[in-house]
Structure 1
Amino acid sequence: MNRIMTQSLDSFQLPLNGVRLIEASAGTGKTHNIVTLVLRFILEKNLSIGQILVVTYTNAATEELRDRIRQRLHEAWRQMSTGQFNDPELAAFCKTLDSSQRANFLRLLRKAVCRMDEAAVFTIHGFCQRVLQEFALECGLAFHWDVLPDDAALYREAAADFWRHLMKKAHPMEVLWLLENWKGPDGLLQHLAPLKSPVPPKILPEPSATHGPNFSQADALFQVIRTMWLEHQKDIEDTLRNHKGLDRRTYNNKAVDDLLETVKALCASNTPPPTLPPSFEKLTASMLARKTKPGENPPAHPFFELCERFWQFMPKLLEGHRIELLKSAEAFVRQAVWRRKEAERVLAFDDLLVRLEQALSSDPWGRVLSERIRQKYPVALIDEFQDTDPLQYAIFQKIYATPNGSAPLCLIGDPKQAIYSFRGADIFSYVRAKRDAGPKNTYTMDTNWRSSSGLVTAVNHLFSRHPYPFVFHQDIPFQAVRSAPTADTRPLCLDGKPSAGLMVRFLSSRHLDTSKEGFILSEAAQKGAAADCAAFIATLLNLADQNRATIGAGRLKANHIAVLVRSHREGRIMQEALRQRGVASVSLQRESVFDSQEAEDLTAILGAVANPANERLLRTALATETLGWNASRIIAMERHDTLMEDVQSRFHRYRELWNRRGFLASFMALLKEENVPSHVRSLPAGERRLTNLLHLAELLHQADQTHSGVDRLLRWFKDRRRAQYAPEEEQLRLESDETLVQVVTIHKSKGLEYPVVFVPFPWTIKPRGAQKNDPVRFHDPHNLSLRVDLGSVNIEENRRRAYREEMAENMRLLYVALTRAKSLCVLCWGRIHGASASAMAYLLFPRLNTDPLQELPQSAMDNFFKDEDLKNSLEDIARSSSGAITVEDADVHGRARRHPSSEKTPEFRARKFHRDLGVPWRVTSYTHLALGAEPYTPDDDAVAEEEPERGAHDQEIEPVFLFPRGPRAGQCLHEIFEKVHFSMASAQDLQANVAAALARHGLEPHWQEPVLSMVENVLETSLHHDHGSLTLKDLEAGDAFPEWEFHFTLGPLDPLRLYNALKDTALYERSVNGLQFEMLQGLVRGFIDLVFRRHGRYFIADYKSNHLGNRVEDYARSRLESAMHEHRYPLQMLLYTVALHRYLSVRLPDYDYDTHFGGVFYLFLRGMRRDNQGSTGVFYHRPERGVVDRLEDLFRRNGLEDHTHGERIGGVGPTGDSALH
């Protein structure tokens, strides 16, 4: 095997000019070498910290680099100033310095440390944004533009525009094809995704000079077939049934019956389906000929020839149409999005690179721009260069390409860890850069400072066995690295013995479900591997408790262990296996929080907050796991109007709070009042769920600053949930900082390290492969440019190229997984269905050439048919590894469990608690106080004791009594009266108000007249009180205060104290008898339907839509008293009275209850009539002063200062305004 000769990197000797490509390997100290080069550029080139451009991949990486640079510069200054060196490289570098050079270097270092806030450390997008803003004129950009974090919404809108234009002019057959294949604009976008790239790829096949078949031709041919069938149906049918030469195994009676039914169905329509049923081929002349017995003549009829033509024509038509449609859609969408961005002066992240590269490529400003950027940043260090793309490489190539080639450009990366092609990273851009740099300017880092010598040996052994481990060997070779001198200073020891570097846990097919061929089924293998790894982790932690599993001088801890998985689904499998064995774990994911179940729940919840009157949305919200209502609770709410009204009232308050104070205030109120945190924590993975909820709330709060308003923010939220791009701030956060086992995706683990790593499912690291008709992305083998094949004549060959590229990336992903550990890497393997196509199989069983599509050699295939042979081959690998690799049998049942430490611990006794904890503080309401009672009759539309039968008597029943009952109707009526302007209400205003409310609540328009009549009756009915009478229609605008909100403080209160305070009055005694709420204190909160002022007195009115019967007499005083007692309304009346009394006493000068408080009206809307002087439908009562005083005294017994808040009543108090207090 030929080895590529390379030169090792010495970062203190590397020439500081020209292009230098530095290839790292896992654990070889890439970041250390970058900061060393920064140090050298400051000292040797006399550059300021702000002149050295350092570009890396993520925002988190920029912060880490800044911190590492600051530490290195400070440490270098300290060592040089004291002369005490603990860095041998720095000591050797300083040995040749004289005193003046040393003084100068100290000055430069001190200056750099003091100016670290000027350090030019950026992500690639941050760098491009900085340049475009600073050099806007040279870049041809406006001076004011914004960055759009996600342009997915623009692409959806452009796709929808294309779809509309397409459907408008499409042939009916084309419409059917579009709906069948793409469904709509979103489906179209999914098919366009492989074509989307900052640099548009070359699309194959090339445009054709001639026009292919079209739908009009297909339709014309179909009409000929249809006509011939209708005219010759009997002859065709007779031929198919009776021709003696046909093979009746294919054309038996049932098959012919089904075939004829298919033809009849096709010809019954004027438009054929775009995709013909498979059985249609039996009508073609060629198949009939194939299925004719030897020596016989095949059936002959023009119909069969026409079917042959149609069968051959349609696939060509559809394939050609698909290709052309994708091309035109891609061009349309790309141009439409670009025009939209230009108009709105926004750039997405990828656009930053596009615009900078375009500016650098233009003449003559491109050369001027390059020079100015180079003057500002004379040096560039590009970290993680293996994740570059053609645009990024072109940008830095053009900036630092000087005539003499002396501009320093260092490209640092590990091509073996290039695993982000799904984000647009292009390993072939790295390959192009490597070829451009040439071997003389390419350096390798060959010492692993992370892992133990055993693990370094194991990885070297595995990858060195294969001649082409990373598929593209010439450009991405594997070079064995050596372990650092300090590699084994902190070994992992089990029972005092150092562990091997790599352990293979063998899954036996004897203990797991298998296929007919004897392979372990993939699901069974995952279950067995998860059980084994979880049990092994439990065993390690148990040993650590006994000081038998140690790292260096300390014990192994749970957070020293990581489990690496390919997908979030695999992560959930592992977490469940760990949980079953008593091992706590935490998941580190790059998954977007908008993809979580909590995001789906929050969509439903916020939809209900936005539309609290919509009972369907409300039920959906309550049924989410986040709110946690079960079916019986929801059914009870629907049966009891008071419960439904209370819930709707709460959600209405959340919406009002959202409108007044923004999303976050509303959300926090919802969390508190719906008891979300404690409920969510009680669910499985409760901490994860609550973390997600709070994370989503934070993102919504931030978006509320630019998308204010309920509807706009909800649209933003739904758009983000559909978006494909998830910036760092939207990725799932760690739910706990505890020392737990880490479950991490392999992609997320890149750049991280753990003492012990488990890779339970390595056989799932394999290419997915493109599906038929999927666009095929691959790179031209000659110029390495990206191409997308939609259906060229070479598509199968290009599909194989794409598969090779995908296998190469999976090999790199496997390399990342196997190199995260410091001391021990554990993986599972066995005769698993589909495992032979995995990267691990490719590594274990070297192929004969570079083509991963080639079948495994027979000797390797034999190893997949017997457990013994496969295990022996693994043991052969282990034996040749000098003890670095071991093979052990897996416990697929996972019998081990985590148990408490066996160390003797002191006996703990709970201290006795003597202090009174007091009563919990909470916000309560009338509904909470009343609903705890047993027995309880809900505040729904009560029916009359003897309701008349329907039918003949219906015509005698007034329509108002037939108006729907229930919370929806009640909410509608309350909304109508909330918006009535009383004395200023015209007939037209009332009519418009009623019509709008009915429509909003989904009630039929024919109720408009009855409801309008009801409203007029309520406004004009005489309301008699202790000092006279009034009508609501007499109220002036400044004297009516609808939906008056209040809060007042409440001392410790329980049902018995409340009963004793009110038991002496019959009206109140029945309302408080049997209450069963728990002791409480805090705030009483509520909304009074109407507070109004008349002749200096203040009144309360509460609207009731209860149905008490179908006659006006059913709403007489005696019936109203029964309804009041039945629903405990007197308790509500007293709470309202206390609230208004307290408010007036602190806001109204010289306030006196007897003088200023007029009383309370309960208005039963269905029974009020303007012509009966208020004798029906009106319940009036004015609580006695003594009762109110007793309640006041009871409510104030907490020793706290009284606080009463309500919406300010105009003219009451020093300001006289109506603002919220």
Structure 2
Amino acid sequence: MEATDQESRQRFTRDLERNFSVVASAGSGKTRAITDRIVAIAQDRHAREWLPKLVVVTYTNRAADEMQQRTRQKILTAGLPLEVIEAFNRAFFGTIHSFCVKLLATHGHHLGLPAKLELITDDEDLWNDFVQQQTAIGRSLTAENRRVLLRHIQARQLMELSRKYDADLAATQPETPCPDTGFAEVYAAVARGQTLRTIPKAQAELQRWEKRWRETDEFVPWPPCASRANDFVRVWRDAFRPLRDWVNACAIRVAAEVQRDYRDFRLARGAITYPDQVALAGDLLRLSQIARRIRENDYRVVLDEAQDTDPQQFFVLIEIARPPEATGAWTQDGRSAPRPGHFCMVGDFQQSIYRDPADLARYRALHELLIEAGAAEALEFSVTFRLDTAQLEFINETFGEILNNIGGQVQFVELNPRPDVLPGQVVRLDLGNDIDLNLPEPRRAAMEARELAEWLRATGLEKLRADSWRDVAILCPRKAWLRALRDALVDVDLAVEIQSESDRQGENPAYAWLTALLAVMIDRNASYEIVGVLREIFGLSDDELARFAQGCGARFQIAERIRERGTVADILNLLTRTREAIAQQPLFTAVREIVHATQLRERLRSLPPEEYVRLNAELDALLTAAANAEAGGLSLSEFTQNLRANFGKTRESRPSFAQAIQLITAHKAKGSEWQAVIVPFLSRKVWGAPVRYPRAIKAVEAQNAQIIFERADLSAELEQEIKDVERQEMERLLYVALTRAKHTLVLAWDREYFRTANGQVAIESQMKWLQADMSDSNAEIIATLPAEAGECLETTARRRGARREEIRENLDAVRLETGWIDMARHRASAFIRTSNPSLFAPEEKTVATTGADVWKEAEPALRPTRIDNPATRYGVWWHEFAQSIPWSAGPSAWENVFETSNAISPDRARSKREWKLLREYFLSHRNLFDQDAMVFAEMPFMWRMDAATCLEGIVDLAVFDREANKWLVLDWKTNRIAPDKIDNLRAQYRPQIAAYWQAITEMTPNASGVEAGIYSTSTGLFVIYDRDELAREWERLRKPRSDQSAGEIALN
């Protein structure tokens, strides 16, 4: 039996020459659909052409990694050729920000960007520096407009506005001068009844304000309205509206000006933010010639989580998918839509919980525009593979009234069952009896948590229909609510693990402690940081530290050893010896030695496991990041700076391996599922974050935002609109929370805990958003739910059957702390070791990649983005250019390719000079490319050297002479070098070329021979190595490390 939406799924997977905008409901298998589409591309006859152009954009790096791994596994299982796998490895999987960085790395010099940019997530210090040097504001306004604006709004408020509000940088000042507002209707208002005191007072204050406004040049902030009479307030606001709208437009213009200045200030100091990455990529695509070159890459975009994409990000992804000759912006002029098969997006309006409501409206508008313009087809995935029957029916019955497509809210999409759906259960757990409502709310919340914890322990896993406690989750709309639940669960001996969307990298002890240790290693006199290490990591008391310091903070140093004994001195000497030991070590070895010497892993294990979970895995992830950073050429100092720069970054959630109940916010639960989900605190008031002013509020259909500089500026209508928008977002958040349960959904009916004295429940509560309170539309549905959870033999049998194969193939989580390492080591001995010829050559300063189309994020969560230096950019450009030359087509075709490529060269003068040398060389050696020659640019190979080792690489240029039955292997070298130093270059790259030569020789045993050499672009010299010379070098490389002299490189 097929799913009811199977036809839509097949179209999305198989129609590769069409664009689609898919609305995929909760649990509908959108990740599976995307991977199936990519596998279909891999199986298509155009696979080797399309896969390297694939751009798969996800919301998080973890989601991108998971999708890439799933897809690769399917491709490997399908037994596709190695050429297809190699093409797939060149596809892009990542976030929109990392893709924008790729564009900037290639084309950013056209915007005048610095050679090196680092990502910053905390710009507090940088902003303060900017404010200190910002001596003028409002330069984008005329002198008169600026004078009038600053009479009403302080410069400080304008600066704060520019930091908080993402202004349109193209905003313009009003075309008309400041309007001469009249207040006759305000003065004419007649006071009656209760307004006899307030309206005359307001009129008198307005009269004084108007006098100052018209007759002086003093600062005149908006006068507050002393009356709350609705009719009078309306007249008051109508009178001020022309002036306020004019000031609002000027303020937005100044905010855009300051934002532009601040971005320039950041870039000048080599700093870039996430929004900068997208904005600058958008600027590239507004340059017609650069946009054309980017589009010529023929990108094929697949966007996941489209509902979490903002308009600027949509602009980048749509523009790169348009035809090369396209001009303008498609969303504005409607011309030259994204090419068929080049743009697909998958999202769900109902799960939009991260973006501004105006962004959600624009996503919906874009979806409709794509459909109406014929640029994409609409598909709907409504079959959920997550929810069982009871949960599915409950969602369908309740959310039709909630997500009603009214007032900006989205339209509910009815869910359909999968073919093999299980019964499922939705339980109403009645909590609270004779509760003292005079107790503080936190105390009542703790009481509910305790009652819920005892119920969970008594109910057990079988009735919850869960395999283990880690398959049970408790979801709350606020992180602060999780603490009471944790304490209650621990009290009844249930293990718990807390996750939150606001967790920062620096809040994790593994991250914070390692960063602190590295920081003191690179700054041996950092007394403040050293004291922090001694207190936090080594657990020394303030008394011990004070006695050691004797009033001199400079004593806390690790520059030299201390000639005394004692606890503090011993630890400082330990750190000093460690610093000396790692001085000449590579990055990864140094970090590993620091961890070992300070017993960091053991110290992390001493922390309460119920409070801090997976610290061992977190430390391993950091060590992996250090290895990746070393491979990327970073020093210990740079790696440490990267860790510090990302200290405040939100940590991505990871699958739990602990046998513990998951406590998680509803925001972070998005994208996850559990066998049983409990939603407590239904009746508890959900307090919003405190409002800070100035504040920009943009209505869904408004062209410009309305600026609220202080609480008094907020009208009753606007305040109600804000409340409606917040309510709608919380309704969608509730939809996310209630669609996470596979088998069991438990609703904690806790009305008695949080009702008011008159028996009401707070409007800002999950119960009200669910419309489940007494007399609400869903009250009867809730009332008929069962009050107890029960076992289901069918569900148990299905779960055990699904687990049996998994248990057979995977390690049980209990073995993580016992014998899994030995088993992993044993299995690792059977792995094939892969080496790369590039490892045999010293680091080349000008070329950072082995292939022109290869890019990869090395631990993006821990490593700030960099744009390489000019020499590296030139090396990458040369390889891309040489790869595109049609060598067999003749000199005129070569010249055409050069002219096109030279337009984007980072050093046009150098590229012209070196192209001339290369052209002259090959013209004098025309026999290299005669009719019998087969030419391969960027030729990949993988040679299995023995049962456990292989050599993998990419040859820049390989030529096979069919008549002579010989190979010529050439590697481009863009090092700047004088002709008389060519022997140095020859010796420098002899190990790498020997590896190439040996691999091609062994892989083509029927060939008459292989010649190999390097071409120096700066000298125009082609250096051919002697075969005996290469054979000797290869024998040297194959020797065990113990047989080599210091500094030599062994294969293994």
**Superposition TM-score, scaled by structure 1 size:** 0.48
Give yes or no for the alignment of 1:571 onto 2:504: no
Unaligned ranges ≥5, structure 1: 1-5, 79-107, 170-177, 214-280, 291-301, 492-498, 516-520, 847-859, 864-868, 890-1221
Structure 2 counterpart of 1:533 = 452
Q: Indicate how the Cα distance of structure 1 residues 419 and 207 shifts in structure 2: closer, same or farther if over 3 A, else same.
A: farther
* Counterpart contact for 2:162–2:259, Cα < 8 Å: no
Give yes or no for the alignment of 1:332 onto 2:258: yes
Give yes or no for the alignment of 1:594 onto 2:500: no
Q: CA deviation at 1:513?
A: 4.0
Which one of 368, 389, 393 corresponds to residue 314 of structure 2?
393
AA at the equivalent of 1:357:
G
Q: CA deviation at 1:486?
A: 0.8
Which one of 430, 433, 449 corresponds to residue 366 of structure 2?
433
Larger of the two Rg values belongs to structure: 1
Which one of 300, 303, 306 corresponds to residue 382 of structure 1?
303
Q: Indicate how the Cα distance of structure 1 residues 702 and 799 shifts in structure 2: closer, same or farther if over 3 A, else same.
A: farther
Q: Indicate how the Cα distance of structure 1 residues 655 and 212 shifts in structure 2: closer, same or farther if over 3 A, else same.
A: farther
CA distance in structure 2 between the partners assigned to 1:761 and 1:703 by the alignment: 45
* Counterpart contact for 2:679–2:746, Cα < 8 Å: yes
CA distance in structure 2 between the partners assigned to 1:829 and 1:190 by the alignment: 43
AA at the equivalent of 1:627:
F
Q: Indicate how the Cα distance of structure 1 residues 799 and 706 shifts in structure 2: closer, same or farther if over 3 A, else same.
A: farther
Q: CA deviation at 1:755?
A: 0.4
Aligned-CA RMSD value: 5.5
Q: CA deviation at 1:703?
A: 7.8
Structure 2 counterpart of 1:629 = 540
Structure 2 counterpart of 1:504 = 428
Structure 1 counterpart of 2:340 = 407
Q: SS of 2:434's equivalent?
A: helix
Give yes or no for the alignment of 1:580 onto 2:514: no
Q: CA deviation at 1:481?
A: 1.1
Q: CA deviation at 1:27?
A: 0.9
CA distance in structure 2 between the partners assigned to 1:597 and 1:73 by the alignment: 39
Q: Indicate how the Cα distance of structure 1 residues 322 and 607 shifts in structure 2: closer, same or farther if over 3 A, else same.
A: farther
* Counterpart contact for 1:611–1:617, Cα < 8 Å: no
AA at the equivalent of 1:804:
D
Q: SS of 1:487's equivalent?
A: coil
Which one of 162, 170, 176 corresponds to residue 131 of structure 2?
162
Alignment of 1:250-649 (within 5 A): 315-316=221-222, 328=254, 331-338=257-264, 340-341=266-267, 344=270, 348-363=273-288, 366-367=291-292, 369-370=294-295, 372-373=296-297, 376-377=298-299, 379-398=300-319, 399-400=321-322, 403=336, 407-408=340-341, 409-421=343-355, 426-438=359-371, 441-466=377-402, 468=404, 472-473=408-409, 476-488=410-422, 500=425, 502-508=426-432, 510-514=434-438, 521-541=440-460, 544=461, 548-549=462-463, 551=465, 556-590=467-501, 591-596=503-508, 621-624=533-536, 626-630=537-541, 642-643=565-566, 645-646=569-570, 648-649=572-573
CA distance in structure 1 between the partners assigned to 2:579 and 2:70 by the alignment: 48
Which one of 735, 748, 751 corresponds to residue 828 of structure 1?
748
Q: CA deviation at 1:317?
A: 9.4
* Counterpart contact for 2:431–2:451, Cα < 8 Å: no
AA at the equivalent of 1:21:
S
Q: Indicate how the Cα distance of structure 1 residues 645 and 189 shifts in structure 2: closer, same or farther if over 3 A, else same.
A: farther
Alignment of 1:713-1112 (within 5 A): 719-721=645-647, 723=648, 725-726=649-650, 731=652, 737-762=657-682, 768=688, 771=691, 773-781=693-701, 790=709, 797-831=717-751, 832=754, 836-838=762-764, 840-845=766-771, 863=774, 876-878=780-782, 885-887=785-787
AA at the equivalent of 1:481:
L
Q: CA deviation at 1:338?
A: 2.6
Structure 1 counterpart of 2:8 = 10
Q: CA deviation at 1:59?
A: 2.4
* Counterpart contact for 1:562–1:756, Cα < 8 Å: yes
Number of residues of Structure 1 aligned to a counterpart in Structure 2: 694
Q: SS of 1:845's equivalent?
A: coil
Q: Which has the higher contact order (CA 8 A, sep 6+)?
A: 2
* Counterpart contact for 1:386–1:430, Cα < 8 Å: yes
Q: Indicate how the Cα distance of structure 1 residues 467 and 195 shifts in structure 2: closer, same or farther if over 3 A, else same.
A: closer
CA distance in structure 2 between the partners assigned to 1:162 and 1:746 by the alignment: 37
Q: CA deviation at 1:561?
A: 0.8
Q: SS of 1:12's equivalent?
A: helix
* Counterpart contact for 2:171–2:253, Cα < 8 Å: no
Q: Percent identity?
A: 19
* Counterpart contact for 1:505–1:826, Cα < 8 Å: yes
CA distance in structure 1 between the partners assigned to 2:504 and 2:512 by the alignment: 12
Q: SS of 1:316's equivalent?
A: coil
CA distance in structure 1 between the partners assigned to 2:640 and 2:75 by the alignment: 48
Q: CA deviation at 1:457?
A: 0.7
Q: Indicate how the Cα distance of structure 1 residues 740 and 74 shifts in structure 2: closer, same or farther if over 3 A, else same.
A: same
**Superposition TM-score, scaled by structure 2 size:** 0.55
Give yes or no for the alignment of 1:681 onto 2:651: no
Q: Indicate how the Cα distance of structure 1 residues 323 and 598 shifts in structure 2: closer, same or farther if over 3 A, else same.
A: farther
Deviations 1:430-454 (A, max 9, x none): 1121220347832211211111111
Q: CA deviation at 1:533?
A: 3.1
Unaligned ranges ≥5, structure 2: 139-149, 182-196, 225-243, 324-334, 551-562, 790-1052
Give yes or no for the alignment of 1:124 onto 2:96: yes
* Counterpart contact for 1:29–1:448, Cα < 8 Å: yes
Q: Indicate how the Cα distance of structure 1 residues 145 and 879 shifts in structure 2: closer, same or farther if over 3 A, else same.
A: same
AA at the equivalent of 1:578:
L
Q: CA deviation at 1:819?
A: 0.7
Q: Indicate how the Cα distance of structure 1 residues 167 and 658 shifts in structure 2: closer, same or farther if over 3 A, else same.
A: farther
AA at the equivalent of 1:592:
R
CA distance in structure 2 between the partners assigned to 1:616 and 1:350 by the alignment: 33
Q: CA deviation at 1:826?
A: 1.8
Q: Indicate how the Cα distance of structure 1 residues 167 and 579 shifts in structure 2: closer, same or farther if over 3 A, else same.
A: farther
Q: Indicate how the Cα distance of structure 1 residues 289 and 421 shifts in structure 2: closer, same or farther if over 3 A, else same.
A: closer
Structure 1 counterpart of 2:802 = none
CA distance in structure 2 between the partners assigned to 1:818 and 1:527 by the alignment: 23
Q: Indicate how the Cα distance of structure 1 residues 692 and 336 shifts in structure 2: closer, same or farther if over 3 A, else same.
A: same
Q: SS of 2:130's equivalent?
A: helix
Structure 2 counterpart of 1:1114 = none
AA at the equivalent of 1:559:
R
Q: SS of 2:21's equivalent?
A: strand
* Counterpart contact for 2:673–2:742, Cα < 8 Å: yes
Q: Indicate how the Cα distance of structure 1 residues 535 and 648 shifts in structure 2: closer, same or farther if over 3 A, else same.
A: same
CA distance in structure 1 between the partners assigned to 2:344 and 2:531 by the alignment: 60
Q: Indicate how the Cα distance of structure 1 residues 678 and 446 shifts in structure 2: closer, same or farther if over 3 A, else same.
A: closer
Q: CA deviation at 1:146?
A: 4.8
Q: CA deviation at 1:841?
A: 3.8
AA at the equivalent of 2:118:
L
Structure 2 counterpart of 1:1125 = none
Q: CA deviation at 1:160?
A: 1.9
Q: Indicate how the Cα distance of structure 1 residues 838 and 580 shifts in structure 2: closer, same or farther if over 3 A, else same.
A: same
* Counterpart contact for 1:612–1:648, Cα < 8 Å: no
AA at the equivalent of 1:510:
D
AA at the equivalent of 2:786:
T
CA distance in structure 1 between the partners assigned to 2:564 and 2:525 by the alignment: 13
Structure 1 counterpart of 2:996 = none
CA distance in structure 2 between the partners assigned to 1:613 and 1:46 by the alignment: 60
* Counterpart contact for 1:587–1:742, Cα < 8 Å: yes
Q: Indicate how the Cα distance of structure 1 residues 701 and 774 shifts in structure 2: closer, same or farther if over 3 A, else same.
A: farther
